[in-house]
Amino acid sequence: MDLSHYHIKEARILVIDDEIINIEIMEILLERAGFFNLGLFTSPVEAIKHYKGSPPDLVLLDLNMPVLTGFDVIQHFDTLHNDLKTPKPPILMITALLDQEIRLKALNSGARDFLNKPFNDQEVLSRVHNLLEMHLAHKANIHYSNKLEELVSQRTEELLKTQQEIIQRLSLAAEFKDTDTGNHTLRVGLYSAILAKQLGLDSSEIEQLRLAAPMHDVGKIGIPDQILLKTGKLTQEEWETMQTHTTLGYKILKDSDSILLKNASIIALTHHEKWDGSGYPYGIKGEDIHLYGRITAIVDVFDALTMQRPYKKAWSIEDSVHFITEGAGTHFDPRIVTAFNEIIEQLNDVRATIQ
């Protein structure tokens, strides 16, 4: 274990003994051994204050003291440590008592080892060194674990950002086949998130929709340009080909291990299904259509209607809202249409910002 951040001789040692002679002996002994980061107290009350402001790496604690016994001090330390972010230091109990019951009580209270009075210099230093080595190794391990967790969190965040960027560019690739900008996909994602929030979805689902809904038309990558960009009415055969963009998008996305891409695959597959079962590709209806698909269906139609395309002029906001409202119960989920009408101003703000 690397203890470079926690050199033993730099450790903070707190010594508490009501007899000044014992404090002086311990001070001389520890300083001769190279320990200078010492807190020396004959008053347990003052020692407790010091402990809170500068948590030690080791406590040498006299058991029998007036006002507060060693047991009392340990209880105070335990209470203080609830607010501290450092591991509890080992306690080396100083006692002249050899009573087995008292020693057992001390161990049960949190003492890690004992020093008998009068002191044996070599024994003191050996026990101090052993306990410090153990405690500092524990601190080093915690430090390493925290750094590792921080690194993993950072790499996970970087990976998520990379994944999101790839997803956004995949969405744009499909959109550029249909328009000269990728703003439709951006708006659909934002519209979906706003609508999801209005419907009371939790924050994680709102974010999922914001990121996944832009991929609703990714299957258009597989639709020939002569059909996708045709200005006139599509033939029946061409229309059937156009409808396959839903299943193509699903196939592109469905096998990913990413929850985000799995949700996007569901949206791609279901955003052209209709509430009354007259949609495509499978003609499912009502709540059998995934909620994400029902949400995306409304905002996709809203944005498509208000956009100019090679085959149509842009509709007004009023006409587009009227069309969607009229489609409640047939094309669209009536509950979601109600929520949609409650957020028109927010959608218009997004549209004014992202043209």
Residues recognised as catalytic: 220
**Phi, psi for residue 7 in degrees, rounded to 5:** -65, 135
Pairing of β 91-95 and β 58-62: parallel
Cis peptide before 118 (omega within 30 of 0): yes
Dist. CA 337–CA 274, nearest whole Å: 13
Dist. CA 65–CA 69, nearest whole Å: 5
Q: Evaluate whether 170 touches 214 at the Cβ level (below 8 Å).
A: no
Q: Evaluate whether 304 touches 183 at the Cβ level (below 8 Å).
A: no
Report how far apart, in Å, the C-alpha atoms of 154 and of each of 49, 87, 145, 251, 258 are.
37, 25, 14, 31, 18
Dist. CA 351–CA 184, nearest whole Å: 10
| Cβ-based neighbours of 180, under 8 Å, separated by 6 or more | none
| Cβ-based neighbours of 284, under 8 Å, separated by 6 or more | 270, 273, 277
Six token digits for residue 235: 């033939």
The DSSP secondary-structure symbol of 255 reads T
